[in-house]
Amino acid sequence: MTLQATGASRRDFIQASASAAGLLLTFSIAPKAGAAEAGVKPLNAYVHVAPDGIVTIMAKNPEIGQGIKTSLPMIIAEELDVPWEMVRIEQADNDPKAYGRQFAGGSMATPLHWDDHRRVGAVARAMLIQAAALAWNCPTGECSTDKGMVVHVSTRRKASYGSLAAQCSAVNVPDPKSLTLKDPSAYKIIGKATPQYDTAKIVSGQPLFGIDVRRPGMLYASYEKAGVFGAKVASCDLDAAKAVKGVRGAFVVEGGTALDGLLPGVAVVGDSWWAARKGRKALNIKWADHPTSAQSSAGFAKRAHELAAGAPQMVTRHDGDVDAALKGAAKTVKAAYAYPFIAHVPMEPQNCTAEYKDGKLEIWAPTQNPESGRQLVARTLGLKPDDITIHMTRCGGGFGRRLSNDYMVEAAWIAREAKAPVKLLWTREDDVRHDFYRPGGFHFFEAGVDAAGNVVAWKNHFVTYGEAPDRPAPSAGMSASEFPARFVPNYQLGVSAMPLGVPTGPLRAPGSNALAFVHQSFIDELAHAAGMDPVAFQLKLLGEEKIVGQPPAAYNAERMRGVLKAAAEMSGWGKTQLAARTGMGVACYFSHQGYFAEVAKVHVAADGQVKVDKIWVAADVGHQIVNPSGALNQVQGAVIDGLSAALFQKITIDNGAVQQGNFGAYPLLRMADAPPVEVKFLKTPYPPTGLGEPALPPAIPAVTNAIFAATGKRIRELPIDTSLLKA
Amino acid sequence: MAYKLNVNGKVLTADVDPDTPLLWTLRDTLGITGPKFGCGVGACGACTVHLDGKPIRSCATPVSSVAETARITTIEGIGADAVGRKVQAAWAELDVAQCGYCQPGQIMSATALLKSKPRPTDADIDAAMSGNICRCATYNRIRAAIKRASGQPVEV
């Protein structure tokens, strides 16, 4: 039977169905007003209590290594008061009607679900208590719960959740808002280091990932696109591909012109991926000329400097009188900063398995954004979204790359054409050359400090990519509230844009992963110009106020001062004897609702090689860490990810195409270069927020500022050019 | 061509072209999907398996170069080895993985290291693990898990 919550408003709606098979709880909370404005749809989560007491919790979001498949169910299990050992977790399919928006991005799952997932657990617990009270003919107030049992407190009589689940049909669903949630001091699961639910499968190599999917009669596909994004096929030798042993078909895909859609190319399908791959090598494709085939990184850099010589195409913020303040400043500093395009390169290359039958499509995909993929596939193939089912597999990394579903639409198209289930798998070279890159950018700064070390003027001409300064390429924009806006009385941000024919998109801590480097480095330059200790200078810049600016651009300066002081304290800032060519650098950054300050200790060898000895991180993500094991792993990983970008990563364009292809030309950081990362989470009275991203941005300037402290040489362009650092 | 392969103690037959890498023979033909594809050029280590106890990159090893008598061990079979089992246990205990995709390769390289050096130094770990990329950058925990598996004190 189905029950509807009593006393619940239309904003809080719960359905529960209880039967001999147990209690199934569907939970739905309409978003808060602010969330609705941001386009976040209602959430549903499912809890199933079986007669044997095993509680199955559906993991609604994609798992990309951020640990969400474990941490969201932990929140439900805590309030349900069930031992973690009795919990089973199942990955949900893409089903927005049941679950609301399912995605992995923006470090948003914890802040979005902290409240409602606790209530899911609390409602289920309250219903089980009601069922027991009914059976024992006592008021619910006489009952409590312990380890998956309802307990009658005075008599110590007990009944297991499993035995009560079927009886929940006789009870009302309480208004979730009426329930008292646990005091954190009573937590048994939240706040306890909990290994990922899939750990045993991971360490024994069980099939979990998209690349591991197998379907009866499945063929394997390899797909070649032009290096120049969107160029069409002029000619190719399909027969040569078909002549390769094991190849079952080869065909041209017309594709479209939108860089985030199905791009033109040639598909080869075979009995094995190796056969398809060999067939592809025989295609001898000639690509048609394309409007973007002359673009290059060198050309963009030249154009950026030309634009910087003139006035910005648009001034997006102007506080006070910057030019007058610069004239009156005790010291002024001018500097140009730049960062390159970078690629995501998740370890699992893009892949997707698709099966088209009788007008319906079934898809197995490692995706961070399944519904967006379903809509793209529906549009491109002319199908109804309801005729497309998407199963989310574990993702071998995401980093924002799998928010785009280009590989999904390719697999769907190829499977329909091939009339067989098809697993499409990209090569690493396909992945490096067909990413949605973190866009490069150029910043031309000028700032002034007064005799007391106050920043009195700040001017930035930001040259980015896009059709116009107010229509930047994806992830190439910059907020007019970027720090230190609001903290400097005379502040000007100007923007100019260059058209781009390269796909761009979000990469872990989008925007922030580059903006932290340029802004925190330039602030460090100002500290040295003012003759001040960088930590003291940053604290002075942050001022004395608690909150600076108005929502939604309010900045909690008190929280940032807190992490800065903590990072200085834990790293022994200013109290550490440093060897020659060894230095410490500090940076802080607010992103994804998290306040982070980081200190790096770096040694620069005589040949310029940079060795990061250690990084200290002070983090403020609110009053509760849900899973301390996952939290620490995310922070350490994000910091080292940032370090990898700082030291190695650079994508360059020439003749319209990406020049790198594999880990030789596009290296990632390895074991010997990974420093220990020490992390401290400050406990502050704010709601818990996410950890997938915000530790990354300040890691880069902490390292480059440390390099300056060690060598007196300022890194103003990424990746770090060690040839500039020779003794 | 039909190739006889001794994988995790079982003799299996795969009918593939001689130039087919061992990785794709294992994954696509034999359905052994623990070894992962990451680069195809032996640069990332995700495909690491043991050939007579030595770690090799199966993505860059043609099946025709593998002797019939050679013992191939994959992540699926490493738990049958006492050292491998210890390494898996340390990986689980320290919750090393994030996405987990590279970890089969990391565990295979770590097991090979511990078989030759039961108490590796940091420099030994750097050298033995240099062929394995973890894009999630779980390096702090990989190092700790290797030390844990070798009975050395661990700072996590």
Query: How far is residue B37's CA from residue A258's CA, in Å, rounded to a whole number?
Result: 29
Please answer yes or no on whether A212 and B104 come within 8 Å at the CB atom: no
Contacts of A496 (CB under 8 A, 6+ apart): A307, A308, A310, A312, A313, A314, A461, A462, A463, A464, A469
Phi, psi for B121 (deg, rounded to 5): -85, 175
In order, the DSSP letters of A249-266 are: EEEEE---S-TTS---EE
> What's the one-letter identity of residue A566?
A
Element (H, E) at A490: strand A490-498
Distance (Å) from the alpha carbon of A520 to chain B's nearest alpha carbon: 24
Structure-token pair, residue A122: 């609390």
For residue range A670-720, list pLDDT tens digits in order: 999 999 999 999 999 999 999 999 999 999 999 999 999 999 999 999 999
pLDDT score, position A168: 81
Contact B79 A204 (CB under 8 A): yes
Of the residues A208, A347, A423, A643, the best mutation for testing chain B's interface (the one with the most B CB atoms within 10 Å of its CB) is A347
- The kind and range of the H/E element at A313 are none
| Interface with A, mutate which of B19, B41, B98 (most A CBs under 10 A) | B98
Look up the CATH architecture of domain B79-150. Orthogonal Bundle (1.10)
Count residue pairs from A and B with Cβ separation < 8 A.
181
Q: Are the Cβ atoms of B97 and A668 closer than 8 angstroms?
A: no
Window from A17-21, A394-398, A602-606, A611-615 with minimum mean pLDDT: A17-21
**CATH number for the domain whose boundaries are B2-73:** 3.10.20.30
In chain A, pLDDT over 70 holds for what percent of residues?
Answer: 94
Q: Under an 8 A CB cutoff, do B36 and A211 touch?
A: yes
CA distances from residue B44 to A683, A727, B133, B152 in whole angstroms, order as listed: 38, 33, 5, 27
Task: Report CB contact under 8 Å: A345, B135.
Answer: yes
pLDDT exceeds 90 at position A17:
no
Residue A440 has pLDDT above 50, yes or no: yes
Q: Which contiguous run of DSSP H or E holds residue A549?
A: none
CA distances to A603, A674, B129 from A669, rounded to whole Å, are 17, 7, 12
Q: Which of A214, A395, A671 sits opposite B130 (nearest CB)?
A: A671
Specify the pLDDT at position A37: 31
The SS3 of residue A595 is strand
Do the bridges between strand A441-449 and strand A265-270 make them parallel or antiparallel, or are there none, so unpaired? unpaired
Binary contact (A204, B139; C-beta < 8 A): no
For B34-73, what is each residue's pLDDT tens digit?
999 999 999 999 999 999 999 999 999 999 999 999 999 9
Chain A CA closest to residue B137: A637
Suggest the residue from A274, A344, A636 to mutate for an interface test with chain B (most B CBs closer than 10 A). Answer: A274
Is the Cα torsion angle A256, A257, A259, A265 positive or negative in sign? Answer: positive
DSSP classification of residue A70: H
C-beta atoms of B135 and A245 within 8 A: no
pLDDT in tens, B71-84: 999 999 999 999 99
CB spacing of B28 vs A274 below 8 angstroms: yes
Task: Say if the Cβ atoms of B100 and A206 lie within 8 Å.
Answer: no
Residues whose CB falls within 8 Å of the CB of residue A606, separated by 6 or more in sequence, listed in order: A581, A726, A727
- What is the average pLDDT across B95-101? 98
| CB atoms B95 and A193 under 8 Å | yes
- Indicate yes or no: CB of A670 within 8 angstroms of CB of B79: no
Nearest alpha-carbon partner for A701 in A656, A651, A642, A633? A642
Q: Does residue B49 sit in helix, strand or coil?
A: strand
A169 pLDDT band (50/70/90 cuts)? confident
Cα–Cα–Cα angle for A344, A350, A351, rounded to 5 degrees: 165
State how far residue B9 is from chain A, nearest Cα, in angstroms: 16
Which residues from B are below 8 Å from A425, CB to CB?
A: 37
Domain locations in chain B as residue ranges: 2-73, 79-150
> What pLDDT, on the 0 to 100 scale, is given for residue A1?
35
Nearest-angstrom CA–CA distance, A686 and A596: 15
The set of residues, in sequence order, having a beta carbon less than 8 Å from that of A696 and lying 6+ positions away, is A508, A509, A512, A513, A638, A639, A641, A642
Q: Do B37 and A211 touch (CB under 8 A)?
A: yes
Chain B residues near residue A638 by CB distance under 8 angstroms: 137
pLDDT tens-place string over residues A609-622: 999 999 999 999 99
Which candidate from A64, A273, A641 shows the least CB-CB separation from B137?
A: A641
Provide the b/e sequence for B6-33 (b: ≥16 CB within 10 Å). Answer: bbbeeebebebbeebbbbbbbbbbbebb
Q: Please tell me what DSSP assigns to residue B138.
A: -
Q: Do A205 and B101 touch (CB under 8 A)?
A: no
Q: Please report residues of A whose CB lies closer than 8 A to that of B35.
A: 205
CB contacts, 8 Å: B36 with chain A: 209, 211, 347-348, 396
Contact (CB<8Å) B33/A207: yes
pLDDT digits (tens, 9 = 90+) for A347-362: 999 999 999 999 999 9
Give Cβ neighbours of residue A551 (< 8 Å, ≥ 6 apart): none
* CA–CA distance, A712 with A706 (Å, rounded to integer): 9
Task: Tell me if A428 sits within 8 A of A662, measured CB to CB.
Answer: yes
A82 CA: distance to closest CA in chain B (Å): 22
Average pLDDT of chain A is 93
Structure tokens at A476: 């190439």
Residue for token pair 């058209």: A499
pLDDT of residue A34: 34
Contacts of B57 in chain A (CB under 8 A): none
Q: What is the pLDDT of residue A21?
A: 59
Average the pLDDT over A18-47 and give the result. 44
Write the CA distances from B26 to A365, A616, A674, B14, B44, integer angstroms: 22, 43, 32, 9, 18
Q: What is the pLDDT of residue A122?
A: 92
| Chain A CB contacts of B91 below 8 Å | 199, 202-203
By CA distance, what is B39's nearest residue in A? A428
Q: What is the pTM of this model?
A: 0.95
Q: How many Å apart are CA A223 and CA A273, to the nearest integer?
A: 11
Q: How confident is the model at residue A40 (pLDDT cuts 50, 70, 90)?
A: very low
Over residues B119-135, the mean pLDDT reads 98
Give the count of beta carbons closer than 10 Å to the beta carbon of residue A183: 7
